[in-house]
Amino acid sequence: MPILEVRNLIAKYSARGPEILKSVSFDVEDDDFFAIIGPSGAGKSTLIRCINRLVEPVSGEIFFEGQDVTKLNSRELRSLRRDIGMIFQEFNLIDRMSVMDNVLSGRLGYTGTIRSIFRAFKKTDIQHALALLDRVGLIDHVDKRADELSGGQRQRVGIARALMQDPKLLLLDEPTSALDPKISREVMALILEMARELKVPCLCNIHDVNLAMEFCNKIIGLQDGVKMFDGPTEDMNEERLNEIYAMEVL
Amino acid sequence: MNSVASPSDQARRDQAFESLLLLRRKSNVRRSAYYFVLLALVVWSIQVTIIDDTDWERMGSLGAVLKSAGRFIGVDIGLFPSLLVPAIETLVIASLGTILGVVICLPATWFGALNITPFKSVTYPLARLMMTLSRSIHEIVWALFFVAAVGLGAMAGIFAIAVRSVGFIAKMSAEAIEDINPGPVEAIKATGANTLQVVIFAILPQVLPQILGTVIFEWEINIRRSAILGLVGAGGLGLVFFRQMHTFNYHGVTSVIVAILALILIGEVVSHYVRKSII
Amino acid sequence: MGVFVFIVWGIEYLDIPLDRLFGMFGRMGSTLANRYYPPDIEYIIDADYFQYVIETVQMAYLGALFGLALTLPLGWFGAYNVTPSRRFVYPVARFATMGFRAVHEMIWAILFVSILGFGMLAGVLALTFFCAGFAGKLLAEEIEAIDMGPVEAMKATGANLFQVVIWGVYPQIRVAFTGIGIYTWDVAFRAATVVGFFGAGGMGWYLKRNVQQIETERVAAILLSIVALVIVSEIVSAWARARVMKMK
């Protein structure tokens, strides 16, 4: 059974606005590194935010491990979000906090409110965070403030924070768009490597087709909220790409 | 973690872990000490100001307190017609006070803007002193001062409002002037204009909208202030409030408050539209 | 603009024809010189008076602190981008902030004195309400200007409402909030020196007594001391603000 099934998903920004997603369906399997490509404004970000309901879908179903995400109450939603790590285009780190605290914030879903006020995380959490920071190559920057780091380093903190959740699925929202090409490749490679190591499937929306072709095993193409392509990377070709990106020329 | 680490990695990580724990504990201790001092001050202040100073006997039980608070619920509708004149008075005091304030502001702003102040070492500190004095003294104190000087009545209120407004308007205006684009100033100077001409043709056009915005903003605040100056004898709604309070007409007190709120609302609406039309 | 001035002057003629007083600055000066000079400095260099000064400071401290404590929920609920409910909580918080703010601190003081009796409790509560209204608006505006990215990230980790605010919002406004706190202290102390005038404790009470007994030279001394204290407090807070700005 696929870990994530999306069925006939429809989303809007405002109640009366136009549909951003027009009945999109797809499946993510346990070992997928799944790419969503398409021109900007195609609804990629909205789609990925519907999975953990940072954007509320209008209709359709999303099954995560067989459970319909769209029907969860707020408590169930929190525990779902805890199981889904997310990495953002603009990193979304807490600039004025240390790298360590940023990584530990990935544990908030597991930590009581009082403990989180005093930043009193469990020792095992701190150990885990340290190991992750070592793994992403930031062991020497643990005490630095997040805004002292370079873009690539900041995204590595973002990766560590997402993995801190012990996620069963990773959502990547344009993880490399804010980085230069060389760093982009390194970061993508790191994500892929760690996802394989921890056996976490990834759903990645990505603007750069070359990166998608290089790192992902499955691709769906979105154009103006409609799914134009769905299949393994090998089936993607120039002609289909042109079709997906046709709108962008206009 | 499932990642495999070599032994030396492990040792290094353990060491980092220990020093990290120590650091976090240290920062926790510092934070706790900080909160503790804050809390101790609060407890001491509560002891002195609230527990010792309150006449708990006279205040009575919570029920009694609620009862005396309940007296204010309700509005004396019959009072409203007689509130119209004081309300207008309040508005006029606020407006005239603001205008007079702007007049006093002219020298203060001129002296207080670094780029146009005439004798930097003398006039600049003087202007700054004026601004600080004006802003840091409460309007009630200013009103008391002017009531003593010119006697009871609207005059004292207008002076109090004017003097109280100078600080804010002058400070904002001076800062606006300091931030202007020096290009036009140089251009006008190059034509051989004197200082006054430079101010009128190069500086004023650049800062006028901003200064007007500040004045309107201050006017809005001045309505709130002038509504209470009657409490110390400067006329307007405050005087009525005082009288209602002294005759124990609690519903009347609420009426006056409602009237003040209405006046402030009017002020807010007017200032909103005026500011829109300026920008 | 000239027309506007003219109209207002006209109204002034209708209501308060007092412009004849304009030529009387000289008399104003002589009144001051004769009755208020010299200020009775000895009167205020006095342990008893000093006690009142300390109490005024404490009153301002508590008022500012309680007000700021009240500001936290007001600012949170009244910031459109992070309010728990845009349809219910947001308008209520906005309305409460406006109400606290619109009523002048002196009116709060009089109301509390009439409900709770004379003393500093009334003063503290009046200052609390005043500060909550004052700082509430500033804080809400500050929160509305934050970057929503970290908030989204915290939500995505499965953090609850509180945790999102403490981790996603608070670090971003901490410096601004400290600034607002210092500013609030300024206005609270300024107000605290006079709330006593209506029976709410502190130095204002001293002032009131001497105004009523027409002890003008003492009044002058007290007014001077208030000005001096406020200026000292402003200098301290200007220094604190500069430090906070450097901290960033």
pLDDT tens for B96-148 read 888 889 888 888 888 888 877 788 888 888 888 888 888 878 888 888 888 87
Average pLDDT over residues A186-206: 93
pLDDT of residue B194: 81
Average pLDDT rounded to a whole number, residues B156-165: 89
Taking residue B93's Cβ as centre, other Cβ atoms within 10 Å add up to: 32
| Selected residues 189-208 of chain A with any CB under 8 Å from a CB in chain B | 197-198
What ranges do the domains of chain A cover? Answer: 4-92+167-249
Element at A27 (helix H, strand E): strand A19-28
A127 vs B contacts (CB less than 8 Å): 17
* A246 at interface of B, judged by CB pairs closer than 8 A: no
pLDDT at C163: 94
User: CB under 8 Å to B246, separation ≥6 — which residues?
Assistant: none
Q: In this predicted model, which residue has the larger pLDDT, B3 or A207?
A: A207
- pLDDT in the model for residue A101: 93
Q: Write the CA distances from B180 to B102, B208, C11, integer angstroms.
A: 20, 11, 37
Distance between C21 CA and the closest CA of chain B, angstroms: 8
DSSP reduced 3-state for A116: helix
Q: Where are the beta strands (DSSP E) in B64-206?
A: none
Inter-chain CB proximity B257 and C103 less than 8 Å: yes
Chain mean position to CA A194 = 14
pLDDT above 70: residue C26? no
> Which of A198, A194, C45, A192 is closest to A206 using CA atoms?
A192
Cβ contact B28–A118 (<8 Å):
yes
To the nearest whole Å, the CA of B6 is away from the closest chain C CA by 31
Q: Are C150 and A165 inside 8 Å of each other by CB?
A: no
C134 phi and psi, to 5 degrees? -65, -55
Query: C222 CB near a chain B CB, below 8 Å?
Result: no
C-alpha to C-alpha distance for C116 and B123, rounded to whole angstroms: 49
Neighbours of chain B (3+ CB pairs under 8 A): A, C
How much is the pLDDT for C11? 57
CB contact under 8 A, C226 and B44: no
Mutation to test the C interface, candidates A69, A87, A92, most C Cβ within 10 Å? A92
Q: Which of B45, B92, B132, B134 to mutate to test binding with chain C, by most C CBs within 10 Å of its CB?
A: B45
B77 — pLDDT class (breaks 50, 70, 90): confident
- CB–CB of B140 and C123 under 8 A? no
Which pLDDT value is given to residue A128? 92
Own/partner pairs, B78-85, CB within 8 angstroms, 24+ separation: B79/B244, B79/B249, B79/B252, B79/B255, B79/B256, B80/B255, B80/B259, B82/B240, B83/B237, B83/B240, B83/B255, B83/B256, B83/B259, B85/C15
Q: Which residue of B has its CA nearest to A164?
A: B1
* C77-136 pLDDT, tens digit each: 999 999 998 899 999 999 999 889 888 888 899 888 888 888 888 899 999 999 999 899
Strand order in the sheet with A4-12: A19-28, A4-12, A59-64, A67-68
pLDDT of C13 > 90? The answer is no
Q: Please say if the pLDDT value at position C3 is more than 60.
A: no
Q: Does C65 touch chain B (CB under 8 A)?
A: yes
Confidence of residue C8 (pLDDT cuts 50, 70, 90): low
The pLDDT confidence band at residue C246, using thresholds 50, 70 and 90, is confident
C-beta atoms of C149 and A105 within 8 A: no
Mutate to test the interface with A, among B2, B6, B13 (most CBs of A within 10 A): B13
**pLDDT tens for each residue of C120-132:** 888 999 999 999 9
**Residue A73 three-state SS:** coil
Q: Please tell me the predicted confidence (pLDDT) of residue B2.
A: 44
Q: Which residue among B132, B145, B260 places its CB closest to the CB of C231?
A: B132
C166/B contact by beta carbon, under 8 A: no
User: CA separation (Å) from B133 to B61, B167, C183, C190, C230?
Assistant: 44, 8, 16, 12, 9
Residue A120: the pLDDT is 86
C219/B95 CB distance under 8 A: no
Identify all chain A residues contacting B23, using CB atoms and an 8 Å cutoff. Answer: 143
Beta strand spans in B19-137 (E): none
**Long-range pairs for B56-63 at CB < 8 Å and ≥24 separation?**
B58/C117, B59/C116, B59/C117
Q: What is the distance between the alpha carbons of residues C29 and A133, in angstroms, rounded to a whole number?
A: 74
Tell me: pLDDT of B268 over 90. Answer: no
Across B253-269, average pLDDT? 88
Element (H, E) at B198: helix B195-198
Spatial separation of the C-alpha atoms in residues C129 and C122, rounded to whole Å: 11
Residue A204 confidence (pLDDT): 93
pLDDT of residue A107: 94
CA distance A190 to A33: 13
Whole-number pLDDT of residue C15 = 53
CB within 8 Å: C162 and A113: yes
Domain spans of chain C, in order of start: 1-35, 38-247
Residue A249, pLDDT > 80, answer: no
- CATH fold for domain C38-247: MetI-like fold (1.10.3720)
Spatial separation of the C-alpha atoms in residues B139 and B155, rounded to whole Å: 14
Cβ–Cβ under 8 Å, residues C24 and C209: no
Interval B175-218: pLDDT, tens: 888 888 888 888 888 888 887 788 888 888 888 888 888 899 89
How many contacts, defined by CB atoms under 8 Å, are there between A and B?
38
Q: Which helix (H) or strand (E) holds A5?
A: strand A4-12
pLDDT tens for each residue of B175-186? 888 888 888 888
Write out chain C residues lying below 8 Å of A95, CB-based.
150, 171-172
- The average confidence (pLDDT) of chain B is 83
Residue A35 Cα to chain centre, angstroms = 10
Does the CB of A131 have a partner CB in chain B at under 8 Å?
yes
**pLDDT of residue C42 exceeding 80:** no
pLDDT at A48: 93
Bond before C38 cis per omega within 30 degrees:
yes
Q: Do C119 and B55 touch (CB under 8 A)?
A: yes
**Would you state the structure tokens that stand for residue C148, as one six-digit string?**
């929503």
Distance between CA atoms of B239 and B253, rounded to whole angstroms?
A: 11
pLDDT at site C7: 54
| Binary contact (B28, A123; C-beta < 8 A) | no
Q: What is the pLDDT of residue A63?
A: 94
pLDDT of residue C21: 55
% of chain A beyond a pLDDT of 70 = 98
Nearest to A108 among C149, C158, C175 (CB): C158
Q: How far is A101 from chain C (nearest CA, A)?
A: 10
List chain A residues with CB under 8 Å of C155: 54, 81
Residue B177: count of CB within 10 angstroms of its CB: 23
DSSP assignments along A219-243, one per residue: EEEEETTEEEEEEEGGG--HHHHHH
Rounded CA-CA distance B162/B218 in Å is 10
For chain B, percent of residues with pLDDT exceeding 90: 6
The whole-number average pLDDT for the span A101-112 is 93
CA C197/CA C208 separation, integer angstroms: 5
What's the pLDDT score for residue A250? 47
CATH 3.30.70.890 fits A4-92+167-249, yes or no: no
Close Cβ partners of B59 (under 8 Å, ≥ 6 residues apart) = B65, C116, C117
Percentage of chain B modeled with pLDDT above 70:
95
User: What's chain A's average pLDDT?
Assistant: 90
Q: C134 at the B interface (CB within 8 A)?
A: no
The answer to whether residue A91 scores a pLDDT higher than 60 is yes
CB pairs under 8 A between A and C: 79
pLDDT of A195 reads: 93
**A92 and C152: CB-CB below 8 Å?**
yes
- Which residues of chain C are within 8 Å of residue A113 when distances are taken between CB atoms? 160, 162-163
The pLDDT of residue C24: 58
Task: Write the CB contacts of B29 (distance below 8 Å, at least 6 apart in sequence).
Answer: none
Comparing alpha-carbon positions, the chain A residue that sits nearest to C248 is A96
Does the pLDDT at position B1 exceed 60?
Answer: no
**pLDDT attached to residue C67:** 94
Cβ separation of B21 and A123 shorter than 8 Å?
A: yes
Which residues of B are less than 8 Å from C120 in CB distance?
49-50, 53-54
**Contact map slice: C 141-180 vs A, CB within 8 A:** 149-150, 152-160, 162-163, 166-168, 171-172, 174-175
Query: Mean pLDDT in chain C?
Result: 84
User: Tell me, what's the pLDDT at A160?
Assistant: 95
Query: pLDDT-derived band of residue A201, with 50, 70 and 90 as boundaries?
Result: very high
pLDDT value at C73 more than 90: yes
Phi, psi of A215 (to 5 degrees): -105, -20
Alpha carbon of A195: minimum distance to chain C alpha carbons (Å): 17
B238 pLDDT band (50/70/90 cuts)?
A: confident
A9-67 residue pLDDT tens = 999 888 788 888 999 999 999 889 999 998 888 889 999 999 999 999 999 999 999 89
Interface residue of A108, A110, A157 to substitute, partner C, most C CBs within 10 Å: A108
Average pLDDT over residues C19-27: 57
Residue C201 contacts B where some CB pair is shorter than 8 Å: yes
The alpha helices in chain A, defined as continuous H runs, are 44-51, 74-83, 99-104, 113-117, 123-135, 151-163, 181-198, 209-215, 238-244, 246-249
Q: Complex ipTM, two decimals?
A: 0.90
Per DSSP, the residues of B32-57 read HHHHHHHHHHHHHHIIIIIIITS-HH
Rounded Cα distance between B5 and A97, Å, is: 28
Distance CA B237, CA C69 (A): 32
Least CB–CB distance from B55: residue in C31, C115, C117 = C117
